[in-house]
Structure 1
Amino acid sequence: MEIRKVSIIGLGALGILFGHQFSKNMPKADLRIIADKGRRNRYEQEGVYCNGERCDFHYVTPDEACEPADLLIFTVKFDGLQDAIQKVRNHVGENTIILSALNGISSEEIIGETYGRNKLLYCVAQGMDAVKVGNQLTYDHMGMLCFGECEPGAISDRMKAVAEFFEKTGVPYQLDSDMMKRLWGKFMLNVGVNQTVAVYQSNYGEIQREGEARNTMIAAMREVIALSEKEGIPLTEEDLDYWLRVLATLSPDGKPSMAQDVEAKRYSEVELFSGAVIKLADKHGAAVPVNKQLYEKIKMIESQYLTDQILNI
């Protein structure tokens, strides 16, 4: 199959980053950004910018009739996933391939409950240092999309079709024949990096150098390694070292999405990270003190939002 029609739902950092790259290398009408009327009007009036360049996007509302997408990409926040699943119905056809670039280890399963797991390629976005403020996205490193079938060992025709499309549009990618391990590895990284930078209210530079923050991050990641063994997808110290090398490539001044949420006083995806770790620990009777501490600290930070809003009225 050849991928011609592409739909994206979610104009956060990843939606803008990859959408902008696609838009420079394919017909405008073939890339559909799905947005409700309110968001569409705001995007069209205020613009959406990527590294200072206004994105030339073709917006469609969820109720507009259209050809099914050959490739559908979810780039929403986790708390918007269920709503997004309903809004993309007109874009899902018999041969649609679905990628989810969401953080965590559960979005593919949730999407698959509605559209079938056979439509999904498992996906991990890694290595980008994008920062979004308002309608402006900036980045030094685009990173890449790693994807593959759920079953280990496969390099399928669907994977090859997506790879060919990414080649044409200049999007860095990697085919992976062991995606569950990759997914857990990225989960481990997110649990360590996102939460630590948010709690220390700093940036990647804080955890790239030796010190308390980096030690906290690595300790949180090692708790995920222990749980991965119990879940039958064992990670090792070698995997931890790999993801630390990925972290080392990021701009020191950049920061992950959770830190950006805390800075903007938005509620974060903590339930996807330490929240999920704590549930898995309860399931297996394991101790995860570092993640419990990070969870409590992030919840405490978020509990101040309402107070700050009242004081600012």
Structure 2
Amino acid sequence: MEIKTVSIIGLGALGVLFGRQLAKKMPEGDLRVIADRKRIERYERDGVYCNGDRCSFHYVTPEEECGPADLLIFAVKFNGLADAVQAVKKHVGPNTIILSALNGISSEEIISRTYGMDKILYCVAQGMDAVKTGNQLTYDHIGMLCFGEKEPGYVSEKAERVARFFEKTDFPYELDKHMMKRLWGKFMLNVGVNQTVAVFKSNFGEIQKEGPAREMMIAAMREVMALSEKEGFPLTEADLQYWLKVVGALSPDGKPSMAQDVEAKRYSEVGLFSGTVIELGKKHNVPVPVNEALYQRIQEMESGYENLNSKVAE
């Protein structure tokens, strides 16, 4: 059974980035973007733009009867995952394959509680430098989705099916036989890059050069390395260097999602990053002072949002 229909939930940076790529190669209607009625009205009125071009998406509400998708992609923020899991119910059938492009190391487990692990491939999005402001997305590097099974060295039929579909649609991907290591590596990257750039209120260029920001980023990543060994997916110095090269290839003017959240005064995914590191540090009795400091600093930054929102309401 080949993949013909795709549903995406979430039109943040990743949803727009990958949705546009698929829309260029798929028949109209075979790619569905799931959103509530209010969002759809806004998307249709104001448009959704990628590198200056207006995206042509086929929108459906969660209540709409449209049949299960062959491939379902979650591209929401972590704080919207619980609602998204409920919103996609009409898009999941016996043969649906699910990919989660969310940050962190827990979204697959959360989704599986409702739809079963048999439908899920582990996945990470990496290498993109997209910046989304309002309804405008800009990027230099589209990045890719890396996916595979939890079991190392095993390539399943559903993973091969996704790979064939991505080949057909010129979609950037990598089929990884060691996905848990990749997942932990991306988590390490996010913990270092997202939080450091957010705290320094800067961009990728700030952590690509020697200095306090890069030192903080690497120190935060090394704390994840120590925890990965305790969790059974040990990351090495070679893994650290690999992910630093990924960072080095990004546009210096680009910004990770957390930095964009801070800039827009939105609550971030700090609980998903340093929050998770702190919990695992307590579990394994491993000190994580850098992530504790990052968590505290970002919490302090976000504590002012309520006052800001109150003034706006007045």
Which TM-score tier does this pair reach, normalised by the shorter chain?
over 0.9
Deviation at 1:156, TM superposition (A): 1.6
Query: In the alignment, what sits opposite 1:288?
Result: 288
> Quick one: distance in 2 between partners of 1:311 and 1:38?
25
> Quick one: distance in 2 between partners of 1:68 and 1:102?
21
> Quick one: distance in 2 between partners of 1:310 and 1:187?
34
C-alpha RMSD of the superposition: 0.8
Deviation at 1:308, TM superposition (A): 3.0
> Quick one: distance in 1 between partners of 2:131 and 2:8?
19
Query: In the alignment, what sits opposite 1:44?
Result: 44
1:238-291 Cα shifts (integer Å, max 9, x gaps): 100000000011000000000000000000000000000000001011100000
1:186 aligns with 2:183: no
> Quick one: distance in 1 between partners of 2:140 and 2:38?
30
Instruction: Give the letter aligned to residue 167 of structure 1.
Output: E
Instruction: Give the letter aligned to residue 275 of structure 1.
Output: G
**How many equivalent residue pairs?**
313
Deviation at 1:306, TM superposition (A): 2.1
> Quick one: distance in 1 between partners of 2:302 and 2:225?
27
Aligned residue for 2:147, secondary structure, equals strand
Instruction: Give the letter aligned to residue 13 of structure 2.
Output: A
Query: In the alignment, what sits opposite 1:57?
Result: 57
Question: How do 1:1-313 residues align onto structure 2 when only pairs under 5 Å count?
Answer: 1-311=1-311, 313=314
Deviation at 1:311, TM superposition (A): 4.7
Aligned residue for 2:164, secondary structure, equals helix
> Quick one: distance in 2 between partners of 1:167 and 1:187?
26
> Quick one: distance in 1 between partners of 2:306 and 2:83?
25
Instruction: Give the letter aligned to residue 263 of structure 1.
Output: E
Aligned residue for 1:278, secondary structure, equals helix
Aligned residue for 1:292, secondary structure, equals helix
Instruction: Give the letter aligned to residue 182 of structure 2.
Output: R
Instruction: Give the letter aligned to residue 221 of structure 1.
Output: M
> Quick one: distance in 2 between partners of 1:72 and 1:111?
12
Instruction: Give the letter aligned to residue 148 of structure 1.
Output: G
Deviation at 1:304, TM superposition (A): 1.2
Deviation at 1:310, TM superposition (A): 4.0
With normalisation by structure 2, the TM-score equals 0.98
Identical counterparts, % of pairs: 72
> Quick one: distance in 2 between partners of 1:168 and 1:50?
22
Instruction: Give the letter aligned to residue 233 of structure 2.
Output: I
1:107-144 Cα shifts (integer Å, max 9, x gaps): 00000000000100000000000000000000000001
> Quick one: distance in 2 between partners of 1:16 and 1:93?
24
> Quick one: distance in 1 between partners of 2:93 and 2:152?
26
> Quick one: distance in 1 between partners of 2:296 and 2:215?
18
With normalisation by structure 1, the TM-score equals 0.99
Deviation at 1:307, TM superposition (A): 2.5
1:25-54 Cα shifts (integer Å, max 9, x gaps): 011100000001000111111110011110
> Quick one: distance in 2 between partners of 1:308 and 1:77?
22
Aligned residue for 1:41, secondary structure, equals helix
> Quick one: distance in 2 between partners of 1:275 and 1:182?
20
Mean CA deviation greater in 226-235 or 155-164: 155-164
Summarize the Cα distance change of 1:199–1:149 in structure 2 as closer, same or farther, 3 Å threshold.
same
Instruction: Give the letter aligned to residue 123 of structure 1.
Output: C
> Quick one: distance in 2 between partners of 1:256 and 1:170?
25
